[in-house]
Amino acid sequence: MNRWKRMYKLLIPLALALFFVGLSRCGVTETTIETMGIEKIALQYLSEQYSAEFSIVSWWREPRENSSIPIPSIIPSYNFELEVISDQFPEDKFHLYYRKNLHTKKWEWSDDYYTLLLNAEVQEYFSEYLKPCLDTEYVIDIIWGISPWPDGTGEETSFEDWLNAGGRIIGLYVYLNGNTPLDDDCKPIAVKLFQDNPTIGNIRFYGLTSEAFCQTANIDAAEIWNDNEQSQLGRLSYYRDGRSYILE
């Protein structure tokens, strides 16, 4: 046990050294962080990307201090995460990351502000698939992930162009009002969505009781589903490789 403690003490300085070397190679040095502060550096990045005004709500390093990972910073996926709001969407937070690009192996900033910029378009886009096939009210929930903007896209990019450029959606989740999702109704929709949108990972249909569905105006649909089994009428999950899963 003592041997492991000694090894841990020796590796921590190495981990920190490697972390700051990584920052230095990207132009964000330890001195820069100490002089400017991570918030100022982050706001500078955002001002170069977007026309809105931004405020940092909170930030932290990853893994967090209470992480159970013993040597967290030797090969991290990212080392800073920030919660941000804008004057364009003052009620909605988004995230900003300073992390290593797994493809280029370089440290860089990335953000998911596109999830707010494109949200109105994405609702309309997917409703064109759902409205002709569903005879009940529904709520669409998009699981975006943390992928950065695809090459050649930016603030003025439409959702369809974002998709065509390689923008990825982890999951498309549809919550139905008072209806149990049926495979005969939902599978053709999922197949069509997969055919037309090759970057969608999985598609799920959830049935909520009418009472629970009414709460989606104020509470996230996923939260309602997860917190109250009595509200659940069933779930269908579809995957790109043809797998399906039914939860009744």
Q: Where are the domains of the chain?
A: 2-111, 116-247
Separation between Cα atoms, residue 82 and residue 32, nearest integer Å? 17
Q: What is the pTM of this model?
A: 0.75
Separation between Cα atoms, residue 78 and residue 114, nearest integer Å? 19
Q: Which amino acid is at 59?
A: W
Distance, C-alpha 137 to centroid of its chain: 25
Separation between Cα atoms, residue 125 and residue 159, nearest integer Å? 8
Strand ranges inside 20-131, DSSP E: 54-61, 78-86, 94-100, 107-111
Question: What's the pLDDT tens digit per position in 59-116?
Answer: 887 654 444 433 344 444 447 889 999 999 999 999 998 877 777 777 788 898 999 9
> Which one, of 21, 166, 155, lies nearest residue 79 by Cα?
21
Report pLDDT for 62: 67
pLDDT at 183 over 70: yes
Place 20 in a pLDDT band, splitting at 50, 70 and 90.
very low
Q: Tally the C-alpha atoms within 13 A of residue 177's C-alpha that lie toward its C-beta.
A: 14
Is residue 242 a contact partner of residue 226, using CB atoms and an 8 Å limit? Answer: no
**What dotted CATH number matches 116-247?**
3.10.310
